[in-house]
Amino acid sequence: MDWLAILSGFGVGAIVGMTGVGGGSLMTPLLIGVFRLNPAVAIGTDLFFASITKTSGAIAHARHGHIDRRIVTLLLTGSLPAAVATFATMHATGITKAWASTLTFSLGIALLLPALTVAAGALLGVLVSLSSVGAGAIGVTLILILYPRLSTQRLVGTDIAHAVPLTLVAGIGHWTLGHIDWALLGALLIGSLPGIWIGANLTKLMPEKLTRGLLCLSLVTAGLKVIH
């Protein structure tokens, strides 16, 4: 039993459940730096991890009424076709994760700055497919910019609901490229599924100001972590 992987999954799951942020921007560097995975395998493994983990979080947020289905639909209108097109291009050209470090650095800067909903979804579709970062961190930022009056709970829930199909499609794309460590993924999920459920339920109980503060802290931390 890989207890480090289980604890890592639990920690990231809890953070994602509370803030919608932390999946790719925290897990991918962890998989590369701590578990010593090849960057391409780390990205693919993280995407499957995110899709399965966030399904649990999305269900919990849906039960609390924290998902804006119209926004999710608009984002997916852009993100899913963009993700499919990205992998079609990668297969056709032979491009692999040689871009990953440059993209991840750029995404870290974008987390600290982030900017019409379908267009934002298309951007996320490409970025998430190439680096695994962005479904939560950039996604929640873009939704906040586009819908500043959305409550923090609905902001987090909507972002997680959008991330589920997007990361699943991107994960399948990486599976076709052979970029998944299934054994490590299983250990991470053992910890993450209860973690994200706990985090999602804590969001309902925490005051709006505290949740928003944790969200801002997560965004800044994620951006600094990725740049470093």
Residue-wise DSSP of 141-163: HHHHHH-TTS-HHHHHHHHHHHH
What tokens appear for 107 in the block? 């995404």
Average pLDDT taken over every residue of the chain: 76
Residue 123 to residue 104: CA distance in whole angstroms: 14
Task: Specify the higher pLDDT residue, 110 or 190.
Answer: 190
Percent of the chain with pLDDT over 70: 68
Q: How far is CA 185 from CA 45, 106, 126, 148, in A?
A: 6, 26, 23, 35
Mean pLDDT over 132-148 rounds to 69
Task: For 178-226, write each residue's pLDDT tens digit.
Answer: 888 999 999 999 998 888 888 878 877 776 667 666 666 665 665 565 5
Residue 167 to residue 181: CA distance in whole angstroms: 16
pLDDT of residue 201: 80
Q: 61: alpha, beta or left, given left = phi > 0 and alpha = psi -120 to 50?
A: alpha
pLDDT above 80 (res 22): no
| Per-domain boundaries in the chain | 3-227
Residue 5 to residue 83: CA distance in whole angstroms: 28
pLDDT above 80 (res 167): yes
Residue 96 to residue 90: CA distance in whole angstroms: 7
Q: How many CA atoms lie within 13 A of 133 on its CB side?
A: 29
* Predicted structure pTM score: 0.69
Helix (H) or strand (E) holding 3: helix 3-19
pLDDT of residue 113: 44
* DSSP letter (8 states) at residue 97: G
Mean pLDDT over 78-84 rounds to 86
Nearest to 50 by CA among 90, 78, 15: 15
- What is the pLDDT confidence band of residue 128, given thresholds at 50, 70 and 90? low
